[in-house]
Structure 1
Amino acid sequence: MRYTSMAALIVASWVEPGMSPAVAGEVFSGQAETGIERVVVTATRSEQMLLEVPAAISVRELDDLRSKGFTYGTDEFRGVPGVFFRRGEGDGEEFPFVSIRGATGNHGNDAFLAMLDGIPFVGPDEEVLLYEIPYPIVNHIEIVRGPVSALYGRGAIGGAINYQTRNPVNNSTELSFSAGQDGYYRGQVLLERQFRQDIGVLASLSYEDFAGWRDNSARDATSAFLKTVIPLSSKSALTAWLSYFERNAQVPSVIPTLADGSIVKVAGGVEGFLGHKPTRNNNQGWIGALRYEQQVTDILDIQLTAQARQFDSDVRLNFYDYLEFNPDQNIMGVNGFASVNDASVYFVEALANWRSGRHKLVVGVSAERTSLDEQDRWSGELDPFFSGECGFRFYAIVIDYSTGEVLNDQPGNDCFVHEQLRTAADTTNQFYGAFFQDEISLSERLTLTVGARYDEFKRNIDFSVIAASPDLQNAEGRSEAVSPKAALAYQLDSGIVYASYGRGFNSNFGPVWQWEPDRYARDEAPTFIDSYELGWKGQTQNKQLSWETALFYLVQTDRRIFIDNPDPEGPPTLATTGQKYSSRGLEAAVRYRPVRTTELLVNYTYLAPEWDELILAGSFGAPDTDFSGNTPQGVPGHIVYAEVSHEFSGQWHGNLSYEWYSDYFVDLSNSIKTGQYSLMNLSVSWFPTNNPDLAFDLSVTNVLDEDYFFYFAGSRSAVTNVSPGVPRQIRLGTKVRF
């Protein structure tokens, strides 16, 4: 096989079958090429038609999202069945909470795995930091619902999000620019070149600036990207890329609520800021990747991959402190937190694809090493020994929310400390895995897929400061996990029906502060999700009608919990495992093209998660509380998404979408259910004189300017705060290629 064919396979991960690479590169906006016939790689680690994969997968084109006015992280989840997100303290990518099929994490976004070109993109605290994803270099995103730890290891407990970078496919220069209200500007230049011996090079430089729609919500981002694909022979190729990414963002505040969820009236309304400045989330870093591919024989290919990334972060936050809330005196509180950290990640993997007779075998091994040098500082009024002298407070900043004034950061208040160094530690995580997967053709129509992965992982932390005191101590832990997988698929004339089982796991390591030896003893064990799924997808009427539906049931066990340490001579708290919850539901999507120029899409999701076993220890001598049988927080029971795209002529394309999310339980006791909201979005694209190399986009998100809020509960039995949703945004963009 000549390398020109291998290059086509590389490009095939983002080109719809039936389209040549040159044609695919011409798709700027309008109706994105995301049909059910598309080639995908995430769910199986080999190129496969979406219609033939026994898994629930959605594909989002980033250019298409931008043409519709979506620019924040988590916008890629809009319209994806089974996925719901809430944006917390901050806007956009800052601190969202993402749930796939009702699965909720132990800490932050640790219930799904993010990847960049199939390489895990997990932070040192074992969660996905979406604000570190270099979105400007992403071409498209594959979203797999359901565990895929059997292929990728830890983190893929509820699903996987694979951010795929763009490949050089032709000789062109592409310029794009967009602007909108609230001081939004974005510009990008992208160069693609093909040289002799089929060497492809892609270079990109982008800058984005947003003044923000709320006080203290401005951000800017700069990205530079260089990628090359080099054929080393007719049967081998090397892909290399390097990315630099810098992002500087302010962090807006939340708004307090009464216990029943009623939003209190605050200074500045939804656009104001209630907190202790400065707040920011600044990070910069680089990512480098190499991938070598070799066709050893007609039936054996190997792939060697390496990635290194380095990120430096400077974070200043205000965590909402519901214990300080006093509506009778218009008082609310936050805790001032600052963290400066340097994180490094090194990843290597070897993969072999072997095809013979009825078997299609994938075998691989991987290793990852993560290091984190972190210093955490706190600000606020502190009673270090809880003697009452400083009001039994823990870094509390007291604010009059009717005026926005900080009340207790005043001269002469010796209880108020500024950026007190409380924790300093060097952390190292190591992960080693080995896996296999075999797709066995039992007959012309019936395929059995079996696989498993073994992972071993460990953490070592050297503390130099604990609880604001110099203290040289060490903490370490290790564990292991086995993740099996099985699927049976039957090929119909119109599609595929399948039944699958998969196990996902997460390390349960969590943040560094949970490892402080003076405060925590630990039992190390991963958390697991066992998932069962029945699916049916297909197309008919000469591909005018396509559908995808899945019934699923998942059970999670061994979540991290904290209880009083039964060993009186040990630290006061034991970090162990327990808790068990399940989720069941239905995902259904129908896409219909009644005529060539019009396409309709409707998605519906039903989710029914439940705590099968949840008993939380009481504090300060209070009895334990049994929440078994309750519904997990932040998961709506119903989600609807509808979209219509129409090509009015060769020059004009239009898109109208509607999304609706039902109420969800906010507190753990399930006494408050609220949060329902709906949005309508509109976009129009114009291609002058039918020129595919020039396009203009006008988008309006939240067309009706609906007021909506994401609800949170710091308390187990009360709503405590909300984060407002983004109001109507109007943006205009243009893109030209020559």
Structure 2
Amino acid sequence: MKTMIVPCICFALFIPESAVSGGIQSNENSSKIQDMVVTATMTEKRIKDAPGSVEVITEQEILEMNADTVAQALEEATGLLMTTETGRMMRPSIRGTGNKHTLVLMDGRRITSGFKDLTGLEQIPVDMIDHIEVVRGPVSALYGSDAIGGVVNIITKKPSKALTMGGTAKYGQSTYGDGDEAAASAYVGNSMGRFGFLVAGGYRNKDGYDMDGVTPDDGDAIGMKSAGGRFSYQLTQGHDLLAGFEAVDRNFNGLRDLQNLDRGRDTNDRRLNYFLEYDGKIAPESSLMLRANRSWHDNEITIDPPTSEIIGSIGDESNAERTLDQLEGRFTSLVMKKHLLTMGTEYLKESREDDTDLDDSVETLSIYAQDEYRIFDPLYMALSARWDHYSDFGSEWTPRLSMTYAILDNLRLKGAWGMGFRAPGFLELYIPTYMSQGKVIYEPNAGLEPESSQSYEIGIQGEYKNFQAGLTCFKTDIDDLIEAVYYTSTGSGKNKKDYYQYQNIAEAAIWGVEFECSLKLPAGFTLSGNLAYLDTEDKTTGEKLEGRPDYKGSVKLAYAYLPLGIRANVRVTHIGERYYADEDQDRMTLVDAYVSKDVTDRFQIFAGVDNLFNSGKDNYEEPEFFYCGIRFSY
């Protein structure tokens, strides 16, 4: 593979300048660096004015990370750790709160959970993504349950106003000559009078690999097909309809050590989301949004040879179907020229069925309101509150107050206080969860209570010429935190099994510091990075919370020379030591590199390497991986 990449890059780098007329900068032009964000307040704000801590991951950054999925696109985000869950699912944990305390949205819409009540972000491709907004800190006051740590909002592209099309194809393999991957994606969009559309699709095939020859396989064979579409229609000026869908069919298989025997595990995950939305300007300073959304997920798991019946009559996760139905209405209006009021209501119904005919559903009715008020010119305040009534868990209400004070035009002080909550999941209450190929068992607890949190943060952000930076301190106290608590082990060596049970820890405390900066250097170089320090405590035991690294940081040195259409970067990510009751997980440092060259204004070649020094093998990181590809646009 290395012998393929080097000639490919050398060929492109020495193409005469006259062959290049601007490069494939349409990617950057069609998805400009995001100055505006919507997730923090549900209304458009400049990122420097948005309350709280907000990070934007642009389409260009996603391309230059070689990210095929949302999970890969988030790996370098500030204060966010991608954690490996059961079935090798990837989930985000923001500020150490845990993988079930980050709410994942798609254009503000909820998506149903998947296997083991988790939404694996490795199952969501980047085919239609315009950018990703990450809000750190509790946002339950706007979005309800699960947003204790924060929100990841995947913002997709909208129908285009003119003909646009493009595609990408790439191939790669690990340094060991296995784990071959081929991937391709394409999109096309146009408008015809009042009607506009954008459709996209992708395909990914990755071979499995096993570095040590011992079960389980280190990497599964993966096949993923995806499609998505957006369709817009302008009813009248200022009144628009938008419909869309996302469909993913993903298969992965490999060997597992289950019940002390090597077994093949074959999994099919299918996901379909579709929605219809109305956006209208019903008065010069008032707008209305109405939306109906449905999200469906189905998984089928085959074990060969089959395992013995270990779950029994309380539920079967091997063949389960989940649906989420969402109805939402939101009204926004400027009142007395100083108050931007947002009011909304939401109805959710989540259902689950499995092969044992154990059906379950939960309904939620919610009401929320927010007042954005510029008290005086430098001081902006946002006050929000939400009430949620659950058919199974009663009612919860969550307020939030955030403020931004402009000390100077280029220097801001931000502060926030907020409450959050998360209702226990169905599996936490009733069904055992088998992780790490059956070597770790999480036992349910029907007596669990909802979690609740209270968080504080204060930070300062600013820019000066080519330098910008931000420093934020935060503290989160969680009551009745639901954690899988280790209590015993059986067997030894290959036959060892660790047993955990979900419990409400009486109180947990998390505090930390986040630092972000960026500096434009001479000759087309940019140096940027982030660092997050985290300290946690289970106040019942006095121990740290499991799986939270003390440090996580990233540094990127990027280079761009647009007259020749050259882009390159080297990225270093460090994840500190993580505490576990049985054995701590060592720190690791990952190095990635990328380079691209515009051959013409419509055609680009690129290449790179992930995990350059083959780090983190004991932490289930993929081995050193080389890739190259082509990209075109029109």
What's the TM-score once normalised by structure 1's chain length?
Answer: 0.71
Is 2:208–2:254's contact at 8 Å kept on the other side of the alignment?
no
Counterpart in 2 of 1:437?
370
Of 230, 237, 244, which residue of structure 1 is paired with 2:233? 230
2:475 is equivalent to residue 553 of structure 1? yes
Secondary structure class of the residue paired with 1:681: strand
Counterpart in 1 of 2:455?
531
2:404 is equivalent to residue 489 of structure 1? yes
2:207 is equivalent to residue 208 of structure 1? no
Counterpart in 2 of 1:508?
424
RMSD: 3.0
Counterpart in 2 of 1:71?
68
Change (3 A) 1:694 1:226: same
What is the CA–CA distance in structure 1 between the aligned matches of 2:271 and 2:482, rounded to whole Å? 31
Change (3 A) 1:527 1:648: same
1:255-270 residue pairs with structure 2 within 5 A? none
What is the CA–CA distance in structure 2 between the aligned matches of 1:33 and 1:286, rounded to whole Å? 29
1:1-20 residue pairs with structure 2 within 5 A? none
2:511 is equivalent to residue 584 of structure 1? yes
Of 529, 552, 556, which residue of structure 2 is paired with 1:643? 556
Counterpart in 1 of 2:213?
none
1:443-479, Cα deviation, whole Å (9 max, x unpaired) = 0111121110000112xxxxxxxxxxxxxxxxxx332
What is the CA–CA distance in structure 2 between the aligned matches of 1:146 and 1:68, rounded to whole Å? 25
What is the CA–CA distance in structure 2 between the aligned matches of 1:56 and 1:441, rounded to whole Å? 19
What is the CA–CA distance in structure 1 between the aligned matches of 2:120 and 2:171, rounded to whole Å? 26
Is 1:148–1:159's contact at 8 Å kept on the other side of the alignment?
yes
Secondary structure class of the residue paired with 1:244: strand
What is the CA–CA distance in structure 1 between the aligned matches of 2:628 and 2:268, rounded to whole Å? 27
What is the CA–CA distance in structure 1 between the aligned matches of 2:453 and 2:103, rounded to whole Å? 13
2:303 is equivalent to residue 307 of structure 1? no
Secondary structure class of the residue paired with 2:62: helix
Is 1:30–1:64's contact at 8 Å kept on the other side of the alignment?
no
Of 335, 339, 342, which residue of structure 2 is paired with 1:362? 342
What is the CA–CA distance in structure 1 between the aligned matches of 2:169 and 2:413, rounded to whole Å? 44
**Structure 2: which amino acid aligns with 1:360?**
L
Deviation at 1:223, TM superposition (A): 1.1
What is the CA–CA distance in structure 2 between the aligned matches of 1:360 and 1:524, rounded to whole Å? 39
What is the CA–CA distance in structure 2 between the aligned matches of 1:358 and 1:31, rounded to whole Å? 33
What is the CA–CA distance in structure 1 between the aligned matches of 2:367 and 2:30, rounded to whole Å? 40
Deviation at 1:704, TM superposition (A): 1.7
2:623 is equivalent to residue 708 of structure 1? no
What is the CA–CA distance in structure 2 between the aligned matches of 1:512 and 1:662, rounded to whole Å? 28
Counterpart in 1 of 2:47?
50
Secondary structure class of the residue paired with 2:521: strand
Change (3 A) 1:487 1:317: farther
1:68-106, Cα deviation, whole Å (9 max, x unpaired) = 32335522222212112332455xxx32354211112xx
1:229-628 residue pairs with structure 2 within 5 A? 229-251=232-254, 253=256, 276-316=262-302, 339-356=318-335, 357-375=337-355, 424-458=357-391, 477-491=392-406, 492-511=408-427, 514=430, 522-523=446-447, 525-541=449-465, 544-560=466-482, 577-595=504-522, 597-613=524-540, 628=541
Larger Cα Rg: Structure 1 or Structure 2?
Answer: 1
Aligned length: 562
Counterpart in 1 of 2:593?
682
Secondary structure class of the residue paired with 1:70: coil
Secondary structure class of the residue paired with 2:27: coil
Is 1:539–1:547's contact at 8 Å kept on the other side of the alignment?
yes
Counterpart in 1 of 2:13?
none
Secondary structure class of the residue paired with 1:279: strand
Counterpart in 1 of 2:151?
160
1:330-359, Cα deviation, whole Å (9 max, x unpaired) = xxxxxxx86101112111100011112110
What is the CA–CA distance in structure 2 between the aligned matches of 1:521 and 1:725, rounded to whole Å? 32
What is the CA–CA distance in structure 1 between the aligned matches of 2:328 and 2:591, rounded to whole Å? 43
Structure 2 segments unaligned to the other structure (5+ residues) = 1-21, 174-178, 211-216, 308-315, 433-442, 486-500
Counterpart in 2 of 1:328?
none
Counterpart in 2 of 1:413?
none
Secondary structure class of the residue paired with 1:709: helix
1:243-295, Cα deviation, whole Å (9 max, x unpaired) = 22211111554899xxxxxxxxxxxxxxxxx9532213211132111110111
**Structure 1: which amino acid aligns with 2:108?**
G
Change (3 A) 1:30 1:655: farther
Secondary structure class of the residue paired with 1:276: strand
2:223 is equivalent to residue 220 of structure 1? yes
Secondary structure class of the residue paired with 1:673: coil
1:377-410, Cα deviation, whole Å (9 max, x unpaired) = xxxxxxxxxxxxxxxxxxxxxxxxxxxxxxxxxx
**Structure 2: which amino acid aligns with 1:446?**
L
What is the CA–CA distance in structure 2 between the aligned matches of 1:317 and 1:63, rounded to whole Å? 40
What is the CA–CA distance in structure 1 between the aligned matches of 2:472 and 2:158, rounded to whole Å? 32
Secondary structure class of the residue paired with 1:665: coil
What is the CA–CA distance in structure 1 between the aligned matches of 2:444 and 2:515, rounded to whole Å? 45
**Structure 2: which amino acid aligns with 1:28?**
N
Is 1:232–1:238's contact at 8 Å kept on the other side of the alignment?
yes
**Structure 1: which amino acid aligns with 2:231?**
T
**Structure 1: which amino acid aligns with 2:327?**
V
1:275-316, Cα deviation, whole Å (9 max, x unpaired) = 532213211132111110111111110101111122221135
Identity of aligned residues (%): 20
What is the CA–CA distance in structure 2 between the aligned matches of 1:575 and 1:726, rounded to whole Å? 30
**Structure 2: which amino acid aligns with 1:601?**
S
Deviation at 1:155, TM superposition (A): 0.9
Counterpart in 2 of 1:729?
625
**Structure 2: which amino acid aligns with 1:226?**
G
Of 655, 664, 676, which residue of structure 1 is paired with 2:578? 664
Is 1:479–1:526's contact at 8 Å kept on the other side of the alignment?
no
2:113 is equivalent to residue 123 of structure 1? yes
**Structure 2: which amino acid aligns with 1:736?**
F
Deviation at 1:660, TM superposition (A): 0.9
Deviation at 1:29, TM superposition (A): 7.3
Of 69, 82, 85, which residue of structure 1 is paired with 2:82? 85
Change (3 A) 1:213 1:33: farther
Is 2:91–2:121's contact at 8 Å kept on the other side of the alignment?
no
What is the CA–CA distance in structure 2 between the aligned matches of 1:633 and 1:508, rounded to whole Å? 19
Q: Which moved more, 1:634-643 or 1:575-584?
A: 575-584
Deviation at 1:213, TM superposition (A): 3.1
Deviation at 1:61, TM superposition (A): 3.0
Secondary structure class of the residue paired with 1:550: strand
What's the TM-score once normalised by structure 2's chain length?
Answer: 0.82
Change (3 A) 1:24 1:494: farther
Secondary structure class of the residue paired with 1:664: coil
